[in-house]
Amino acid sequence: MGDKSFRVAVVGATGAVGNLMVQVLEERAFPVAELKLLASARSVGRTLKFKGGSIAVEELREDSFKDIEVALFSAGGSVSRKFGPVAAESGCIVIDNSSAFRMDPKVPLIVPEVNPEAVIPRPGIIANPNCSTIQMVVALKPIFDAVGIRRIVVTTFQAVSGTGKRAIEELRQQVAQLSEGRPITREIYPHQIAFNCFPHIGAFLDNGFTEEEMKMVNETRKIFNDPDIAVCATTVRIPVYFGHSESVNIETRRPISVAEVRDLLGRAEGVVVVDDPARAGYPLPIHAAGRDETFVGRIRQDPSVENGLAMWVVADNIRKGAATNAVQIAELLLARNMI
């Protein structure tokens, strides 16, 4: 990456994704000259480990970005809307993990393996896509480039870590309560999550879909730069800690064989093909957890429609689906001398 190093801030550093952003910066040896950890006032005084030392968390304020060159935001949409433009105006490049700017036509929405060309010089703010969108487009990009995609029908099976630390604890607590015959307590989700699942992620909209489902529709079109792709999504919360799974059914514009798809995906950046059903070989969230790749299996023709394909896609939602993708965007900017 060269000899230059950068002053980096992580906003929302004490959250599940913020914690991981700090870890991934170290794991991937991003050239950090100084790391500033920012969060709300209630987190001030906490420390996080980085490169063998401890860094104290500071309160996020409008003057927090003086001399900061790159800021990774993962503190929710309202914080991003308030402080993202402030950081960008100070000369900092903001890589934002919330949904606040994703559909802004002036803001690039980037998955480095998929649409690096969409990064623009001096971008100000760059949006990190939704976790479930990221893994799907990583898996579909080689097919999209080869034969085009007309339609996508996707059902997701999403881990509780996508909701945050308190949801992880709620699942743990409910499993313990049920195993001990005690009444469950519920604060985060509208229903019991332990040993259950429900098709409800984000608020329901007037069209009957949820916010999460429409994110997948709109973000996929923007990332592929193809407003004509038809996308129908159903998003489901399941009692898994880490790793989103997706059943993805596509109609391609031109024919392609399963063997060709396996070959394309086997050579694709960031993709691991696990497709040996005779030996129960297919992607599992327990295998994807802690990994940065997107895993694809159960690749098969869909005979019910012309040029139909079905597959199963799994990735760690807070790594590739959030923290790792954000750091990869910073690496892309560095490789292109944009920071």
Q: Is 244 a catalytic residue?
A: yes
Q: How far apart are CA 74 and CA 267, in angstroms?
A: 31
pTM, entire model: 0.94
Q: Are the beta carbons of 68 and 87 closer than 8 angstroms?
A: yes
Residue 288: what are its φ and ψ, rounded to 5°? -80, -25
Give the homologous superfamily in CATH for domain 6-129+322-335.
NAD(P)-binding Rossmann-like Domain (3.40.50.720)
pLDDT value at residue 2: 54
Q: Which residues contact 292 (CB under 8 A, 6 or more apart)?
A: 270, 316, 319, 320, 324
Which stretches within the chain are classed as H helix? 16-27, 77-89, 131-147, 165-179, 211-224, 258-266, 285-288, 324-335
Per-position pLDDT tens, the chain of length 339: 457 899 999 999 999 899 999 999 999 999 999 999 999 999 998 999 999 999 999 999 999 999 999 999 999 999 999 999 999 999 999 999 999 999 999 999 999 999 999 998 888 999 999 999 999 999 999 999 999 999 999 999 999 999 999 999 999 999 999 999 999 999 999 999 999 999 999 999 999 999 999 999 999 999 999 999 999 999 999 999 999 999 999 999 999 999 999 999 999 999 999 999 999 999 999 999 999 999 999 999 999 999 999 999 999 999 999 999 999 999 999 999 888
Q: Is 197 a catalytic residue?
A: no
pLDDT tens, 210-268? 999 999 999 999 999 999 999 999 999 999 999 999 999 999 999 999 999 999 999 99
Q: Which of 131, 200, 232, 287 is catalytic?
A: 131
How far apart are the C-alpha atoms of 202 and 209, rounded to whole Å?
9
Q: Where in the chain is the domain with CATH 3.40.50.720?
A: 6-129+322-335
Amino acid at 157: F
Q: Which residues contact 329 (CB under 8 A, 6 or more apart)?
A: 95, 110, 112, 119, 126, 128
Residue 245 and residue 283 in contact, taking contact as beta carbons nearer than 8 Å:
yes
Q: From CA 189, how far away is CA 211, in angstroms rounded?
A: 15
Q: Identify the active-site residue in 191, 200, 244, 287.
A: 244
CATH superfamily of 133-317: Dihydrodipicolinate Reductase; domain 2 (3.30.360.10)
- All CATH 3.30.360.10 domain ranges of the chain, comma separated, are 133-317
